[in-house]
Structure 1
């Protein structure tokens, strides 16, 4: 609410600009907008990241629930086309991390990371669904693959009913022929 006066109208989301996320629910002025605390706690709870992972980042909403992460400070609101990286989709039943965010921050995750075998990783990169062995949580996971002795995040997968559904964006899907490597 704007000031608590009778007849005061709540602020509305303006999808044409970036608005900084409020720090806490008490600071919220736009109904339904996620807060910085909620966004960080979601990543910590879902993927086991440390709270400190997001120090130095500001979080912004543009559109309805499209959250962006920016490693700097600017005035809010901001009328620009892009700001940092797409980070998370909120304002839907289940929050969904973006491929960019998973590839940037997923190396630090210690929860809900599904490490795929080579054939599964290739299928995932093509955008195909697979049925890997997984006995963890359902929902959005970090799909990863072992490369050069480390686990590298590939992207976001949706695990339901024993199936991993690739959420690799069409423009980033790739087909690899192992005979050409």
Structure 2
């Protein structure tokens, strides 16, 4: 931290550990570990125990990272673990990596895609899917692979349309999905 940055301010050049609870919050707007874990449980039905052993960090305004282990706090590094969530906006947005890593056993807001829908999704195409009867907003898009339902990434569902948020650099041409 620079000499002119108070410990109660967000500084985008370092990782700061999230406080355990909202009552422990020092930096205005920074989510707590409890709020992050609760969000994953409420939005996707992810068991909070999945996050045991992970520490949560903010770098920049609302970019939340998960790290499996311990390091000094604060820490000035370019990356620390995996970016899992974007907060400090109206709707929190999970990252593709986080959904693929933590939503394998998600029980809520998971839309199962057919082979053709899954291919279109990972290719970055938006598609009309009027069959979804769950919540609007960010969903886990999943497809059955080798007998298991696997998360492909994050989709944004609004007005009967599933929008792919698979990053352009991660979009893949899949030869066969079945």
State the TM-score bracket (shorter-chain normalisation): over 0.9
Q: Give the ranges of 4+ consecutive aligned residues of structure 1 lying more than 2 Å apart after TM superposition.
A: 175-178
Picking from 32, 39, 55, the partner of 1:35 is 32
1:176–1:36: structure 2 CA closer, same or farther, 3 Å change rule? Answer: same
Per the TM alignment, residue 10 of structure 1 is displaced from its structure 2 partner at its CA by 7.7
Q: How does the TM-score come out when normalised to structure 2? A: 0.93
Question: 1:60-81: per-residue Cα shift (whole Å, max 9, x none)?
Answer: 0001100000000111100011
Match of 1:158 in 2: 156
Name the CA distance, whole Å, in 1 between partners of 2:173 and 2:128: 19
Does residue 82 (structure 1) correspond to residue 79 (structure 2)? The answer is: yes
Tell me the equivalent position of 1:108.
105
Offset at residue 176 of structure 1 (A): 3.2
1:26 matched to 2:23: yes
Q: Secondary structure at the match of 1:123?
A: helix
How far apart are residue 82 of structure 1 and its match?
0.5
Q: Cα offset for 1:12?
A: 1.1
Q: 2:33, 2:173 → 1: CA distance?
A: 37
Q: Check if 1:145 corresponds to 2:123.
A: no
**Unpaired runs of at least 5, structure 2:** 1-5
Larger radius of gyration: 1
In the other structure, the counterpart of 1:53 is 50
For residue 67 of structure 1, the aligned residue among 54, 64, 87 is 64
Q: CA deviation at 1:27?
A: 0.8
Q: CA RMSD in A?
A: 1.4
What's the counterpart of residue 3 of structure 2? Answer: none
1:118-166 per-position Cα deviation (integer Å, ceiling 9, x unaligned):
1110110110001222111100000000111110000000000000000
3-state SS of paired residue (1:44): helix
SS in 1 for 2:41: helix
Query: Counterpart of 2:134?
Result: 136
- Tell whether 2:89 aligns with 1:92: yes
Aligned partners of 2:154 and 2:174: how far apart in 1? 19
Aligned length: 171
How far apart are 1:175 and its partner, in Å? Answer: 2.3
- Which whole-Å CA distance do the structure 2 matches of 1:172 and 1:10 have between them? 36
* 1:127 equivalenced with 2:143 (yes/no): no
- Mark the runs of 5 or more structure 1 residues left unpaired by the alignment: 1-8
